[in-house]
Amino acid sequence: MTDTFDVIVIGGGAVGENVAARAVRGGLTAALVEHELVGGECSYWACMPSKALLRPGHALAAARRLPGVPVGDHLDAAQVLARRTYFTSNWDDAGQVQWAEGAGITVVRGRARLDGERRVVVGDRTLTARQAVAVCTGSVPSMPPLEGIADTRVWTSREATSAKEAPGRLIVLGGGVVGVELAQAWRRLGSEVDLVISGDRPLPKLEPIAGELVAEGLIEDGVRVHTGAKAVRVSRDGSEISLGLADGTVLKADELLVAVGRRPATTDLGVETLGLKPGDNLHVDDSGLVSGVDGQWLYAAGDVTGRALLTHQGKYAARVVGDVIAARAKGPVDASPWSQYAATADHASVPAVVFTDPEVASVGRTAAQAAAAGIETRVVDLDIAVAGSSVHADGYRGKTRMVVDEQRRVLVGVTFVGQDVAELLHSATVAIVGEVPLERLWHAVPSYPTISEVWLRLLEAYGL
């Protein structure tokens, strides 16, 4: 059986949904191929369930920082998990399928493989694209080369966000975003947690203040943080799992969450039929066109490209790809930087939030990244100590860093660390994307008394 569509999108997560929807909005027909759940990783195993697990613990901690607010001494784990399950629709994608079909997208169930130019095989069905194929298969967890890991059942982020009850003891291997968020979530739900990281602090890709304050928060919650620790072997004896470290330490728990990174989901995709290497990122230009494939028909967006492994950034790139495909079906497009047809923000304007307590909200380059890029910078560091923060929570602790391009007098990076700082981030993102001169930013007066007043203090510290 052969079916023909204008666009075939492989991968029905949030990124693929956006590509297909934008293509249809542009007047094309689209098939969305998904072998698991329409809605993808973010809806069922990542963003939504992890934040649902984290939020109650943050609310309880916030209430404890305010006198006169009656609070209990622990969370009701069963209710937290039930609310998490509500947000995943109990891992049922009927609602997402209904949305897709209502948007004019044809949903095709099954595992897709590329099979030459504009051809996609799904089981015994061959789909052909008139205009383009867009790969939005995302990423999958990486496994470290530990002795015994191939024969040992461990958790990945999927098991950690979909577990039906809190493990008595949990080891988390990896100090990135997934590791720190889920270590804190399960600790606040009652698990004993060991966090094992190879460096001297978690979140090593962010500004040092991020890892330092998040480590303090984890330790205050009772997480045992093992820094400079190299895991070498893992084994399971019945219900108990053991993680051996290079210094001879052996940690034991009921579950081990391996959170050491992710890799592009291109291994079983058939990219070799196009001369590409399975397991590699699909390298794209800013319009989403895949490099190394002739004919201007293969596109990719999201984690599979390796550009910015964040749901919101993947959706941003997906909107670009969908619009580009629809526009190119009618003629040439202008994909110059910052146009509708270029994902320019992927390079140096990416916002991200780590939803721990304290939160980390960052956008743009770190000071080290800016220096490495040859930018003449000035860095301003401050404690978040304004009227708004003091009202927000007793003993509020937070820090912020502003990285300025001295030649252009614009911001190239901002980081906030503290309780509830995520809502400060979009102002920083607008300032960086808009390349707002500091002298003009000075006239963006923050309301009093809010935590946003820290913007005034940063500019004053700079000298304005």
* Residues with Cβ within 8 Å of residue 143, at least 6 apart in sequence: 149, 258, 260
Written as tens digits, the pLDDT of the chain (464 aa) is: 569 999 999 999 999 999 999 999 999 999 999 999 999 999 999 999 999 999 999 999 999 999 999 888 899 999 999 999 999 999 999 999 999 999 999 999 999 999 999 999 999 999 999 999 999 999 999 999 999 999 999 999 999 999 999 999 999 999 999 999 999 999 999 999 999 999 999 999 999 999 999 999 999 999 999 999 999 999 999 899 999 999 999 999 999 999 999 999 999 999 999 999 999 999 999 999 999 999 999 999 999 999 999 999 999 999 999 999 999 999 999 999 999 999 999 999 999 999 999 999 999 999 999 999 999 999 999 999 999 999 999 999 999 999 999 999 999 999 999 999 999 999 999 999 999 999 999 999 999 999 999 999 999 999 99
- Helices 14-25 and 311-328: crossing angle, nearest 10°? 30
Q: What is the DSSP string of 145-168?
A: --BTGGGS--B-HHHHHH-SS--S
Q: How far apart are CA 140 and CA 151, in angstroms?
A: 19
pTM of the model: 0.96
The pLDDT score that the predictor gives to residue 2 is 61
Burial (CB < 10 A; 0-12, 13-18, 19+), residue 69, is exposed
pLDDT at 72: 85
Please, is 398 exposed, middle or buried when counting C-beta atoms within 10 Å of its C-beta (0-12, 13-18, 19+)?
buried
In angstroms, rounded to a whole number, what is the distance separating the alpha carbons of residues 150 and 405?
A: 47
Look at phi and psi of residue 463 and say left if phi exceeds 0, alpha if psi is from -120 to 50, else beta.
left
Cα–Cα distance for residue pair 349/312, rounded to 1 Å: 12
Cα 20 from Cα 9, distance rounded (Å): 7
- Backbone angles phi and psi of 352, in degrees to 5: -155, 145
- Cβ count near 364 (within 10 Å): 24
Query: What's the pLDDT score for residue 73?
Result: 86
Reading the block at residue 57, the tokens are 């613990």
d(CA 253, CA 87): 28
Cis bond upstream, residue 358 (ω within 30): yes
Comparing CA positions, the residue from 153, 190, 152 lying closest to residue 169 is 190
Q: How many CA atoms lie within 13 A of 269 on its CB side?
A: 28
